[in-house]
Amino acid sequence: MNPIAKRFSDASRLYDVHANVQQQVAHVFTQWIAQAWHSDSKPKTVLDLGCGTGYFTRCLQGAFPDAELMACDWAPEMLETAKHHSRHVSFFLGDAANFIAPVNADLIASSFCMQWLENIAASLEHHLQHCKRLAVAMPCDRSFSLWKQAHHALGYTNGLHPLPNADALRNTLRGWQAAGRITHWREKTLTFTELHTDGLAFARNLKAIGAATPKPGHNPVNLRKLVKRLPSPLTVNYEVLFLEVQA
């Protein structure tokens, strides 16, 4: 099993207890998606990529109650948790990078998943071949600013999994639109914040949700020294990019 998938699978039982920002994003993102669909043309089939415990899946189900819902995830225990909490959803074990559903979807949506993929642009291109609209929400590289600054002050590089650059994604989509490969796209960037008692509490939160996978070859900082560099309480910023692309 992919090591990132294993970490998420191991975190499945406690994920929903600690994934506060992810749940906030799921609600706001769902509303943002739903606003673009007219009442007479709502999607009949919806696929949630990287569904995790199914929280976002259930948000989509609430927004589009008449749609056929499908969901996939690469972490088996996450998928089992999602099945336990959801009804009338077809679940599949699969990699969000290149998953293909049994039927093409009117809407493919993904929240807090795509940032884990090795080649985001290639995955977007893949899924645009199997849907009418593709909507993704992902934290970008301006997130965790205080955490990164504290590492820099100690002469270390932040070891968290690298996040995508929003400008690079925008340039990719502009190129696709100019080449006629997509008809329309829209975006929105929102800041979400989460308060922790200190830096150690933030690190523990990341571990609890399975999101603490370090960069390959990362040289970890002395956590005690890092915590002293951070304010207490610590406000962590998530700069989240919403994208919707029309194939």
Domain assignment of residue 214, yes or no: no
Domain assignment of residue 223, yes or no: no
Structurally, the chain folds into a number of domains equal to 1
What's at 51, amino acid-wise?
C
Residues 166-190 pLDDT 10s: 999 999 999 999 999 999 999 999 9
pLDDT category at 4 given cuts 50, 70, 90 is confident
Domain assignment of residue 101, yes or no: yes
- pLDDT at residue 7 in the model: 86
Domain assignment of residue 229, yes or no: no
Q: Round the average pLDDT of the chain to a whole number and report it.
A: 94
Domain assignment of residue 146, yes or no: no
Cβ atoms of 203 and 236 within 8 Å: the answer is: no
Domain assignment of residue 19, yes or no: yes
Residues 49-85 pLDDT 10s: 999 999 999 999 999 999 999 999 999 999 999 999 9
pLDDT category at 237 given cuts 50, 70, 90 is very high
Q: Which two tokens stand for residue 117?
A: 């993929």
Q: Which residue range forms the structural domain that includes residue 71?
A: 3-140+164-191+240-246
Domain assignment of residue 156, yes or no: no
Check pLDDT > 80 for residue 3. Answer: no
Strand order in the sheet with 234-246: 89-93, 68-73, 45-49, 105-111, 131-139, 234-246, 184-196
Check pLDDT > 90 for residue 2. Answer: no
Q: Which two tokens stand for residue 62?
A: 């609430």
Q: What are the two backbone dihedrals, phi and then psi, of residue 33, each rounded to the nearest 5 degrees?
A: -65, -50
Domain assignment of residue 65, yes or no: yes
CATH number for the domain harbouring residue 22: 3.40.50.150
